[in-house]
């Protein structure tokens, strides 16, 4: 027994010596590295510019006197000879007319609700869903200042609430309410001094109540032939709001144009027909698709670009010379620190850590910044993949080399 213990101790000492030798060999042939995980990244390639929006517009005038009440909301479509406004003798009469129209609509809606009850399948759940959607619209329109649309949404919300009352049995009918509204309508008749005058349009199109003086700034058929200097002059032009007789305008169609100046290098990335996305901070409309119509030859490091959009909304009634953000593209891929990039046999790539071994994989950049690049994430075998551990620091790296963190 006395001889066994020394032999065990001798064996342990030999084993520790072997472990130490192996560790020293490993340390001598490996190097410490720093790593970071390959993660997805998305960014937008954008530029903010100032320009001017132009449409084919016809100004409407009224030479008489009185209180104007618009019959069409901004951005609303009007037919040939369509009525765009009424002119009343006084503000009181205009208000009385507006109130009477609202009462007439409510009476008709209540009658319609009573007549339609029992026809088709209308569930409380369905009505509640519509009420929720309409309520969100009311809140959104109120926050964004869309007051014309807000009034219509409020009336639609009231209609839905009335329907719910009837479906759930809270009320049997609206006869009493209809009688009350009819009495109010009759009492307003004494405030009408005669028929209102009407303002009509001689062409079909989209109506806007604001006139700013830029309606006939240039012949839009010549936009693609204008030079960068000429377009720059249009952007810089200053106009007054127009004559006192102007009460609105009609845009011929839903097409409109945005003229802007881009740095020459950014303009060179575009061609006619390229689609971009326009974002206008001053509008509630979040994104507007636009198409490059033309690009003028560069002057003083800038090129004029004419963009065309096909969209009409109430927001656009005041959109003329506001700055916009143009999104050229959305870039997605894996983020790679520039310190991690290496070139092996003419191929760009990075070393990744697998266990204790460094392996070289190729990368294909899609965007380059000062401190990082974004690379394709769908390159296949032998390329960088999501969640790979990228070696961002280390000396004398080589494919297959043993390394340590």
pLDDT (mean) for 1-7 = 57
pLDDT at 326 over 90: yes
The CA distances from residue 151 to 3, 138, 147, 156, 158, in Å, are 103, 8, 6, 9, 11
More confident residue, 101 or 208: 208
Dist. CA 277–CA 290, nearest whole Å: 6
User: 336 or 179: which carries more pLDDT confidence?
Assistant: 336
Give the separation between CA 109 and CA 124, rounded to whole angstroms. 19
pLDDT for the residue numbered 129: 82
Q: Is the domain of 352 the same as that of 387? A: yes
Query: Looking at residue 251, what is its pLDDT?
Result: 93
Sign of the C-alpha dihedral, residues 64, 68, 72, 73? positive
Last residue within a domain, chosen from 330, 360, 391: 330
**Residue 293: HSE in the Cβ half-sphere, 13 Å Cα cutoff:** 21
User: Is the domain of 339 the same as that of 274?
Assistant: no
Gap between the Cα atoms of 269 and 262, Å rounded: 11
Nearest to 57 by CA among 193, 187, 246, 236: 246
For residue 316, tell me if it sits in a domain. yes
**Coil/strand/helix, residue 107:** helix
Q: Answer yes or no: do 343 and 288 share one domain.
A: no
CA–CA separation, 280 and 319 (whole Å): 9
Asked whether residue 236 falls in the same domain as residue 270, the answer is: yes
> In this structure, is residue 283 part of a structural domain?
yes
Same domain, 35 and 25: no
Q: For 298, which DSSP code?
A: P
Domain annotation covers residue 132? yes
pLDDT of 266-309, one tens digit each?
999 999 999 999 998 777 667 899 999 999 999 999 999 999 99
317 with 272, same domain: the answer is yes
Instruction: Give me the pLDDT at residue 11, please.
Output: 62
Q: What is the mean pLDDT of the chain?
A: 85
Q: What is the pTM of this model?
A: 0.67
Q: Judge if 120 and 38 occupy the same domain.
A: no
Residue 78 lies in a domain: no
pLDDT of residue 84: 93
CATH number at residue 368: 2.40.420.20
Separation between Cα atoms, residue 67 and residue 91, nearest integer Å: 6
Q: What are phi and psi of 377, to 5 degrees?
A: -110, 5
- Pick from 309, 330, 351: which residue ends a domain? 330
pLDDT for 330 beyond 50: yes
CATH code, domain carrying 324: 2.40.30.170
> What DSSP string runs through 148-163?
HHHHHHHHHHHHHHHH
Whether residues 25 and 36 share a domain: the answer is no
pLDDT tens-digit profile of 53-77? 999 999 998 888 888 888 888 888 9
Residue 159 lies in a domain: yes
| Longest CA pairwise span in the chain (Å) | 130
For position 398, what pLDDT does the model report?
93
Token pair recorded at residue 133 = 């959607």
Shared domain for 349 and 288, answered yes or no, is no
Q: Give yes or no: residues 265 and 278 share one domain.
A: yes
Query: What is the rounded CA–CA span in Å between residue 63 and residue 245?
Result: 6
On whether residue 82 sits in a domain, the answer given is no
Domain count, the chain: 4
Q: End-to-end CA distance of the chain, in Å?
A: 45
The mean per-residue pLDDT over the stretch 101-121 comes to 74
Read off the tokens for 196. Answer: 């209102």
On whether residue 245 sits in a domain, the answer given is no
My answer on whether 370 and 338 are in the same domain is yes
Q: How confident is the model at residue 154, as a pLDDT?
A: 77
Taking alpha carbons only, the member of 365, 358, 364, 369 closest to residue 394 is 358
Q: Which of 256, 254, 261 is closest to 214 using CA atoms?
A: 256
Mean pLDDT of 207-217: 91
| Average pLDDT of the segment spanning 132-137 | 80
369 vs 130 pLDDT, higher one:
369
Residue range(s) defining the domain that contains residue 98: 90-193
Statement: residue 401 has pLDDT above 70: yes
73 in any annotated domain: no
- For 375: left if phi > 0, alpha if psi spans -120 to 50, otherwise beta; the answer is beta
Main-chain phi, psi angles of 65, to 5 degrees: -125, 160
Gyration radius (Cα) of the chain, Å:
36
In a shared domain, residues 127 and 160: yes
Cβ–Cβ < 8 Å for 320, 53: yes
- Among 299, 330, 361, the domain-final residue is 330
């Amino acid at each position: 027994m006395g001889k066994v213990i020394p032999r065990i101790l001798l064996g342990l000492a030999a084993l520790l010596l072997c472990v130490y030798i192996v560790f020293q060999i490993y340390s001598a042939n490996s190097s410490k590295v720093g790593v970071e995980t390959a993660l997805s990244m998305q960014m937008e390639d954008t530029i903010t510019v100032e320009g001017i929006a132009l449409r084919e517009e016809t100004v409407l005038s009224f030479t008489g006197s009185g209180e104007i009440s618009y019959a069409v909301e901004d951005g609303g479509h009007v037919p040939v000879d369509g009525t765009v406004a009424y002119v009343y003798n006084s503000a009181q009469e205009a208000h009385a007319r507006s109130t009477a129209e609202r009462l007439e609509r409510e009476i008709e809606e209540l009658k319609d609700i009573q007549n339609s009850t029992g026809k088709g399948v209308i569930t409380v759940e369905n009505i509640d869903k519509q009420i929720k959607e309409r309520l969100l619209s009311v809140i959104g329109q109120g926050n964004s200042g869309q007051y014309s649309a807000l009034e219509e949404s409020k009336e639609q919300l009231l209609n839905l609430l009335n329907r719910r009352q009837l479906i759930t049995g809270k009320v049997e009918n609206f006869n009493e309410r209809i009688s009350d509204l009819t009495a109010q309508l009759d009492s307003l008749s004494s405030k009408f001094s005669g028929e209102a005058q009407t303002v009509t349009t001689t062409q079909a199109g989209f109506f806007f109540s604001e006139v700013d003086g830029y309606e006939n700034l240039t012949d839009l058929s010549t936009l693609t032939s204008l030079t960068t200097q000429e377009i720059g002059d249009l952007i810089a032009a200053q106009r007054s709001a127009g004559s006192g007789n102007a009460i609105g305008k009609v845009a011929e169609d839903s097409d409109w144009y945005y003229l802007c100046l881009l740095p020459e290098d950014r303009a060179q990335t575009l061609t006619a027909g390229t689609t971009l996305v326009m974002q206008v901070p001053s509008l509630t409309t979040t994104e507007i698709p636009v198409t490059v119509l033309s690009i003028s030859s560069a002057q003083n490091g800038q090129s004029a670009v004419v963009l065309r959009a096909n969209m009409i909304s109430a927001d656009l009634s005041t959109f003329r010379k506001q700055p916009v953000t143009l999104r050229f593209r959305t870039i997605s891929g894996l983020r790679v620190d520039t310190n991690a990039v290496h070139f092996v046999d003419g191929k760009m790539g990075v070393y990744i850590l697998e266990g204790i071994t460094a392996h070289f994989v190729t990368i294909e950049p899609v965007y380059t910044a000062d401190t990082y690049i974004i690379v394709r994430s769908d390159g296949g075998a032998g390329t960088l993949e999501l969640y790979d551990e990228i070696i961002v620091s280390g000396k004398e790296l080589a494919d297959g080399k043993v390394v340590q963190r």
